[in-house]
A and B are shown apart, each in its own frame.
Chain A
Amino acid sequence: MAKKIRLNLNRVEGDLELELSLGGGRVEDAWCIGTLYRGFEQIMINRAPMDSLAITPRVCGICGTAHLMSAVHALEKAFSIPVPPNATRIRNLCLMAEEVQSDCRQTFLMFCIDLCHPAYAALPGFPETLEAFEELKGRIYRQTVQHSKKILEIVALFGGQWPHSSYMVPGGVTALPSLRPIGEAESIVETFISWYEEAVLGGTLEAWLEVRTAEDFEAWISEPSRAASALAVFTRACRAIGLHQVGAGVGLYLSYGAHPEPEKWMPPYTERACLRSPGLFDASDGSFHPFDQALIAEDISHSWYHDRQEAPKHPFLSETLPKYKPDGDRYTWAKAPRYGGRAVQTGPLAQFLVLGDPLIHSLLKQHGASAWLRQLVRFHRPVSTLLAMRDILRELASPALSSGPYILPARLGEEGEGFGLVEAARGSLGHWVRIKEGRVAKYQIVAPTTWNASPRDRQGRRGHWEESLIGLPVESEENPLLVGHVIRSHDPCLVCTVHFVQSGRSFRFGG
């Protein structure tokens, strides 16, 4: 008979519990349970609409810039407020800085330290892994602490501080046009690029852009001069463990599209012209589909919420009214967002498959999706992001653009509804707001981890994380390392998953 175990997991920004059903040393079934509820959507009700710019970034200490961007886009959409191209440039620049920070910290402070577990001591290359990635001591670990905070100084230059500022306001950004912060930011980007090329990739960004196939990738990492690069050490360690063969999850990949094109971003904001295009990629047949936010619905059939109709609802219609019901097949208070009725995965891997990136598609064909590939995209993504940051700063400094404007006068109306969709570092993030009589009447947030960590839906189909764990070998019931690798490869952020509350099973256990 199957045995059930319950696990706590840390380094997931917040708290996560997993319930696993084991048989023959493998995961037969899985349930994802968050253990923290915070009620942000209730806090927003009746507040001044602008307050969302201060309250919602505080949903998350890592991706507050993404929440700020979602919140300001929702207000601008609701009232058709135009934004000058330079403001979009600065918003993109700051979100990119946060993304690069998150990719590096997630990779080296959250994911790679698990490769140093004593259980792997006998694997080839372990001393090199330890030298690079050991918690608090490893070469790359310490360099990441140094450099990840430097790139965030760009957010402070334009927005005052990171985390938790509110410099994106309807109509633009609060900073004044000036060449001084642009010059300082350029220097920060170039210093970061030098580190990234030398320590992480073992080659220039431009050379890396020529790596377009699985064969190119092999050639890159097997070059002896790059043996100590973070990328090579990481790949050898992951392969020794077998992380390139586990953790695929559901085969449907969603991206809302990242970094709007400054000159094309204008009311009514129906066209999503982005540096990284939005869409859906279906790995089962290799097909690409356009993105339509109307297809998003929240299913709560396995979650404890008041619900009069039980049908999945679009975020504009759904409610967040917790109600504890211990009986039946509801096992969590996490909602289950679905796209066109289907479970999807979101995050950098989804983003790069949707945009048709040749290297990531080639690697997908080679071994399929895996924890390693998902993590590898976080080495690959900063390359194009850093180059884009360099371009944005050059544009902002150009004589034609340097005098601004960075903001246009804007006025919020009394009634309206809008949504803001962005790509946070860990995937697709959406805010939906409705304003009545000048106050917030409704606020709904669907965070990336809500997509990935979702529970089952009405058809009993598992969420993506649950699916990604099925069949995984469990070597230690106290600390199943593979489960940790697979979950952490998603850059989980449980604090963002604003709907999560304590599961009923623990409720009975404790109460």
Chain B
Amino acid sequence: MSSLIWLQAGGCSGDTMALLCAEQPDITEFIKQTGLELLWHPSLSSKSPAAFQREIDEIAKGGRELTVLCVEGSIETGPNGTGYYDTIFGRPKSELIRALSLAAAYVVAVGTCASFGGVTAAYPNPTDATGLQFRQYNPGGLFDSGWRAKSGLPVVNISGCPAHPQTVVGVLGMLLKNRPLDLNQWNMPSEYYQTLVHQGCTRNEYHEYDAEETQFGHEGCLFFNLGCQGPLTLATCNSQLWNQRSSKTRAGVPCLGCTMPDFPRAAPLFSTEKVGEVPVILPLGVSRPNYMAYKGLAQAAAPERIANRRMKP
């Protein structure tokens, strides 16, 4: 029987709350279908913390197997390297995470905080927070970059603020069924992170024809002025909708790039830095000269229905 422990560190429980919104399977079905024993979840378990403490000891001593350790929230290493900004049973939570990581076949960072540091590690990083195996784009966090769990995999990063619930149940399902899991350079599973948020955005035509918005509450593209990171962000938000219904960009909210290691970036989040008419940072992999040429043509080629915002996103 597979077993899973979920720990929450420096975070907001948002990944758990998002996970409660998973469909096909929802969490109760997921547990049933995978035959999973949920040993501990701080928001869901009725077990007492004291009973959990005894189980931890048993697992750490090798008396009991642990298949998956999920960590939500960043690892707070402050103040002064003590880890006492976030404790459990009177000890830094990082100690518990370390002990259980050594015992687990798979270690999974759920959400951007656990993967890369996330909001908790945003400047000036008051708690000296880090991800499990990365600090933003830099390899090495609580564990150095060469660390491997018992299965041979590094920490699997299911980033996102919050992590998309369908990605979480999808990746956990692959691990529990022993399916091969290809990881990208930031240890995010390629199955779910080889898609841009831009793919499937219902404002795509406005982007193609360079129909730019400068104010919220309109139909056009949010990339050029309002800070949208959709063309730069690896996630399934527009190909697997949120809450089965929509996505931020569909609702007129710029993508904030929340799956990426540098989230939240220091620059103002709701505006696009530009040189002249052109954003400083272009869609993923696009060269500046090509983009300049394309942009001029695109605007000129825009059909009237796009220029006049006739199409509903």
Chain A interface (Cβ < 8 Å from any Cβ of B): 6-11, 13-15, 35-39, 42-43, 45, 47-48, 50-51, 53-55, 58-62, 64, 105, 109-110, 113-114, 116-117, 135-137, 141-142, 145-146, 148-149, 152-153, 155-167, 169, 171-176, 178, 184, 322, 324, 405-407, 409, 478-479, 495, 501-502, 506-507, 509-511
Residue from the list B84, B87, B120, B268 in contact with A38, Cβ < 8 A: B120
A495 to B252, CA, bound (A): 28
Residue from the list A45, A54, A506 in contact with B256, Cβ < 8 A: A54
Closest A residue to B27 by beta carbon equals A145
A163 x B251 contact (CB < 8 A)? no
Among B39-47, B97-105, B281-289, the stretch that binds chain A is: B39-47
Residue from the list A136, A145, A157, A511 in contact with B246, Cβ < 8 A: A157
The A/B interface has a contact count, at CB < 8 Å, of: 247
**Per-position binary interface string of chain B over residues 45-74, scored 1 when its CB falls under 8 Å from any chain A CB and 0 otherwise:** 110111110000000000000000000000
A61 x B14 contact (CB < 8 A)? yes
Chain A residue contacts of B48, Cβ below 8 A: 478-479
Chain B residue contacts of A15, Cβ below 8 A: 8, 42, 86-88
Chain B residue contacts of A511, Cβ below 8 A: 82, 84
B122 x A174 contact (CB < 8 A)? no
Could you give 19 example pairs across A and B, Cβ below 8 Å? A6-B90, A10-B45, A13-B13, A14-B13, A37-B86, A43-B119, A54-B269, A62-B17, A136-B31, A152-B243, A160-B252, A166-B256, A172-B216, A405-B217, A406-B217, A407-B215, A478-B48, A501-B85, A510-B87
A167-B49 contact, Cβ under 8 Å, with A54-B269, A55-B264, A64-B14: no
A153 to B244, CA, bound (A): 7
Q: Min CB distance, B172 to chain A, in Å?
A: 16
A38 x B45 contact (CB < 8 A)? no
A149 x B43 contact (CB < 8 A)? no
Closest A residue to B15 by beta carbon equals A61
B313 x A507 contact (CB < 8 A)? no
A10 x B42 contact (CB < 8 A)? yes
Contact residues of B: prevailing secondary structure: loop
Q: Min CB distance, A98 to chain B, in Å?
A: 10
B251 x A14 contact (CB < 8 A)? no
A42 to B8, CA, bound (A): 22
B292 at the interface (CB under 8 A from A): no
A105 to B82, CA, bound (A): 35
Which of B21, B26, B218, B237 gathers the greatest number of chain A CB atoms within 10 Å?
Answer: B21
Chain B residue contacts of A157, Cβ below 8 A: 245-246, 251
Q: Min CB distance, A444 to chain B, in Å?
A: 15
Closest B residue to A333 by beta carbon equals B85
A142 to B43, CA, bound (A): 16
B44 x A53 contact (CB < 8 A)? no
A45 to B125, CA, bound (A): 12
B248 x A160 contact (CB < 8 A)? yes
B126 x A43 contact (CB < 8 A)? yes
A171 to B270, CA, bound (A): 15
B16 at the interface (CB under 8 A from A): yes
Chain B residue contacts of A47, Cβ below 8 A: 266, 268
Residue from the list A10, A176, A507 in contact with B312, Cβ < 8 A: A176
Residue from the list B46, B49, B258, B269 in contact with A51, Cβ < 8 A: B269
Residue from the list A35, A55, A114, A155 in contact with B86, Cβ < 8 A: A35
B298 at the interface (CB under 8 A from A): no
A36-B264 contact, Cβ under 8 Å, with A163-B162, A165-B248, A479-B48: no
Looking at chain B, what size class is its interface with the partner chain?
A: 35 or more
Which residues in window 235-280 of B have CB below 8 A to A? 237, 241-253, 256, 258, 264, 266, 268-271
**Per-position binary interface string of chain B over residues 3-38, scored 1 when its CB falls under 8 Å from any chain A CB and 0 otherwise:** 000001011111111101111001110010000001
A495 x B87 contact (CB < 8 A)? no
Chain A residue contacts of B233, Cβ below 8 A: none
A413 to B116, CA, bound (A): 34
B231 at the interface (CB under 8 A from A): no
A501 to B11, CA, bound (A): 14
Closest A residue to B255 by beta carbon equals A160
Which residues in window 101-141 of B have CB below 8 A to A? 119-120, 122-124, 126-127
B210 at the interface (CB under 8 A from A): no
Q: Min CB distance, A135 to chain B, in Å?
A: 5
B150 at the interface (CB under 8 A from A): no
A146-B26 contact, Cβ under 8 Å, with A38-B10, A50-B270, A479-B48: yes
B269 x A510 contact (CB < 8 A)? no
Closest B residue to A180 by beta carbon equals B312
B92 at the interface (CB under 8 A from A): yes
A129 to B249, CA, bound (A): 44
B14 x A164 contact (CB < 8 A)? yes
Q: Min CB distance, B159 to chain A, in Å?
A: 13
Q: Min CB distance, A310 to chain B, in Å?
A: 23
A43-B46 contact, Cβ under 8 Å, with A37-B85, A60-B13, A173-B217: no
A9 x B26 contact (CB < 8 A)? no
Closest A residue to B11 by beta carbon equals A495
A184 to B245, CA, bound (A): 10
A322 to B82, CA, bound (A): 15
Shortest beta-carbon contacts, A-B, top 3: A61-B14, A39-B126, A174-B252
B79 at the interface (CB under 8 A from A): yes
Chain A residue contacts of B219, Cβ below 8 A: 176
A8 to B52, CA, bound (A): 11
A58-B119 contact, Cβ under 8 Å, with A50-B269, A160-B246, A174-B217: yes
Closest A residue to B16 by beta carbon equals A61
Q: Min CB distance, B192 to chain A, in Å?
A: 16
A135 x B44 contact (CB < 8 A)? yes
A176-B44 contact, Cβ under 8 Å, with A37-B86, A58-B14: no
Chain B residue contacts of A37, Cβ below 8 A: 76, 85-86, 126-127
Q: Min CB distance, B52 to chain A, in Å?
A: 8
Q: Min CB distance, B148 to chain A, in Å?
A: 29
B252 x A163 contact (CB < 8 A)? no
Chain B residue contacts of A6, Cβ below 8 A: 90
